[in-house]
Structure 1
Amino acid sequence: MTQLPTRRGLLFGTAAVSAGALLAGCTSNESSDNDSDKADNNQPAADDKPGKAVTIGFAGPQADHGWLNAINDNAKNRAKKYSDVTLEITEGSNDTAQQIGQIETLINKKVDVLVILPADGKALTQVGLKAMRAGIPVINLDRIFNSPQAYRCWIGGDNYGMGLNAGTYIGEKLKDKPNARVIELAGLDNLELTQQRTQGFDDALKNYPNIKKVARQAAEFTVESGQAKMAQLLQAQSDFDALWNHDDDQGVGALRAIEQAGRDDFLMVGGAGALSAFQAIEADNSVLKATVLYPPTMAASAIDLARALGQGKGVGGMAEFEIPASITLYSAVVDKENVGQYMSTGFE
């Protein structure tokens, strides 16, 4: 999950416009297929005019995380909506050499467009360049290639924005509390995305001089690591007012540790948008009060963009004849006030 952070002045709208909304008028056709997953049901309806047949190759990493599995599901189910789209999807791998081989197979099949979520953007830049030089436009999904020449369009989430919005939400909740203390349960520290989320969080807290971040612990985006690292934080910090957890999957473990410790004296904000987090927010019976989105619906929008490229179309609602070079999705804050609106997008 990476890259291309943007600033937003308005952080707390009840709705966020995803890239898919821009693509609503982009040449598509509704299918009678009702097998789409929940995350795709609220995608904008496309127009009913089938266009040129397009074969889209989709290559992503191994779906070993709830968010990555949702990425695959969104791509598959979005493609099913179009009678003029054929989706060639690879098995997925976290081994860069294997993923490169899978993409080269798609290039050799002469697919019309490629959608690639690289396991490692730097390592896969050359195969992105190879596709582009072969005349196959690439939609680079989320983890960005090192060179803009390796893709026609990048679409992904806003890691800095996640931290910024989480920090602002917590700041507004604690702005009247003297000497407020917050802690942070981060993700993998060797990933740039983790550093971006922390930077956004720290920058937001600068606007609240009464708040001090007193501890930070890095986990590994897993339930087990979330539980273990949260237990360590709780043992080390007996008094704090808020927690920001970077990832809802590891947040499941974090909540277990919190419950086992019998703690309910602080508020927690999660990250990504898992169904379990939405359900906990709706139930309002735990410390988890909000989460900031990193929407896997970006994969559905990537299919829309790939289809538009294959058919030589632009994006509905925009004056340009071509699709944009990059689209950064907004990290909306979901709390009890608006969770019902986002429930159908939650991933498991």
Structure 2
Amino acid sequence: MAAGARPGHEEPAESSDGPGQPADTVAGTLDGPLGPDAPADTTATDGGGGKTRKQRPFWKELPLLIVVALVLALLIKTFLVQAFSIPSDSMQDTLQRGDRVLVDKLTPWFGSEPERGEVVVFHDPAAWLAGEPTPESNVVQDFLSFIGLMPSAEEKDLIKRTIAVGGDTVECAKGGPVEVNGKALDEPYIFPGNSACDDKPFGPFTVPEGKIWVMGDHRQDSSDSRYHTDDVTKGFVPVDDVVGRAVVVAWPVDRWAMLSVPDTFDQSGIGAAAGLAPGALGLAGALPLVLWRPRRLTGGRTAG
């Protein structure tokens, strides 16, 4: 309370213009007559008393928003994630015909290669889909494919599970399990009633570097690596042809699920390097003896 002011009487607030000048109110910032019937000025202010441009109507902003959304969709499709439709039964029961999966396309850009157990989408390496009908497309599908919400009807892509990678030895005898580097796989994801490979035993094969060996989960209904060992690629899929890893079933909603790597691929000793471990350890142990022996002999001659 200012000196000399009467109790119960509030002084008017002072503005920055100096004592005695009344402070601006919200209504005082508007031009023109004040009052309940005064026309409202929709022009925005810049906070310093100056006028700025009027806000553009939403319908004028809409084309720009659509363009930005399309650009973002294209960038996401190209570099991050893309939706793919499952056209066959070769990955049952993990994937059903008509499922939509989201494929991670980002990690391959950083040099990541497919790992054992991952479900991957890859370009047809050697006419594996020869004779398969190409579905007819329409304008809507072409547009959705362009922005990455649906796969292109012209793309020849497949989806399988990575069983072995470069450097691995993979085989499967009739009546037996699939073995990777001598380790038997426990494959609960195989379609009920199917065997591991009775319809097409194979191997042993050593997977070349930069290649992978793939198989469908519905073993008796999958034309996978086993059936293409006479092709130019010998049944192996080049890593460069891999589009990315399928990470989630996104549609239909009631089938939403993550596509994780089964535990059997984490078992101890399955890595190709593990099979070389005894020899490598023996060599490492012998190397100091080999290097020490000449030095010992040379030292004896020098002393003599």
TM-score between the two structures when normalised by the length of structure 1: 0.18
- Largest Rg, 1 or 2: 2
Q: 1 or 2 for the larger relative contact order (CA 8 Å, sep ≥6)?
A: 1
Higher helix proportion: 1
